[in-house]
Amino acid sequence: MLIRLPRRPHIGILELHGALGSTIRANTYYQILDRLERSARIGCVLLDIDSPGGSVSASESLYLKVIRLRQKKPVVAFIRGAGASGAYLVACAASRIVAQPGAIVGSIGVISLRPVVGELMQRLGVSVSVNKSGPLKDMGAFYRPSTPEEDAKMQSLVNELFEDMVQRVAEARHRTVAQVREVATGEVFTARRAVNLGLVDELGDFDTALDSAASLGNMPRRVSYVRPPRPARLRLLDRFVGWAMESVEEETATVVGRRLWYM
C-alpha cells in the first residue's frame, strides 16, 4: 500500500466515517494506522470520527492499534456526528476526546442479531438438509429458531464481550468499572452530557480538536489527510454503486449467520 506522507512533521488526519467493518475496512485502516505509527513525518494523529459502531472484530482491531499508536505519539479523537458503541471504543484509545456539542456519544454495549426465515422457507417449499458433528454446530442458523440452550450460550458470549468493553472503557477513561456500568445501558448521550459523565474530555469543533492535537504534539497546525488509496476507476465506480454493493454484502452476511456488533 502506497500512502504519501509529508516531509515535515504534520498532524495526520484519518477519517473514520461510516460503519466499522463495512465502509471502514479494518485491515485497510489498520495498515494506515501502522504507517502513521512508524512515520517520523507524522508528529500527532487526529481521528475524525462519525460512526455508529460496527462489528466486534473490526472495532477491537482498530482500538488495539490506536492504543499502540498512542504509545508512540499523541492521538486526538474528534467525534463529529456520532461516536457510538464500537466507534466510541476506538475513540477511547486516543489520548484525548473532543466532541461537537450536538454529537451522539455512547451506546456502550454489544448486540447479537440474526433473521429467522424458517417459516418463509416452508411457504416457498425450500428445505435445508444438515449434517453436523455436534448439536451446537449450526447454532445461530437462519433456517430455524434457537433452542433455549443456544440462547443461553449466545447470551453468555454477549455478556463476556460486554464485560471486556466496559473494562476497556473504564481503563481508557480512568473510571471505575462500576461508573462505566452505570452508563453502559446501550443508550446514547449528547456530547454535552457525555462530558459530565466522563465519557468525553472537551466540547468543541474540528478546530478545537486540531488545536488540542497541535498542543499535545508540540507542533504547528500543519495537517495532512491520510486516506486509503483507490484507483481512479474504482473511485468512479464507488460514486455510483459502492454503497449498494456494501449494503448487499452486509445483508447477505446477516442472512447466512448471526453476527456480533458493537452497535
Which residue of the set 72, 137, 156, 247 is catalytic? 137
Query: Is residue 37 scored above 80 in pLDDT?
Result: yes
The pLDDT of residue 256 is: 45
CA pair distance 216, 205, nearest whole angstrom: 17
Which residue of the set 51, 59, 61, 85 is catalytic? 85
Residues pairing with 12 in the sheet: 45, 224
* Domains delineated in the chain: 10-107+185-262 (3.90.226.10)
Q: What is the mean pLDDT of residues 108-129?
A: 85
Active site residue 132: no
Write out pLDDT tens, residues 46-88. Answer: 999 999 999 999 999 999 999 999 999 999 999 999 999 999 9
Which of 20-34, 94-108, 213-227 has the highest average model confidence (pLDDT)? Answer: 94-108
Q: What is the mean pLDDT of residues 21-27?
A: 82
- Specify the higher pLDDT residue, 101 or 142: 101
Active site residue 137: yes
Sort 36 into a burial class: Cβ within 10 Å, 0-12 / 13-18 / 19+: buried
Percentage of the chain lying above the pLDDT 90 cut:
64
Q: Per the confidence metrics, is the pTM higher than 0.85? A: no
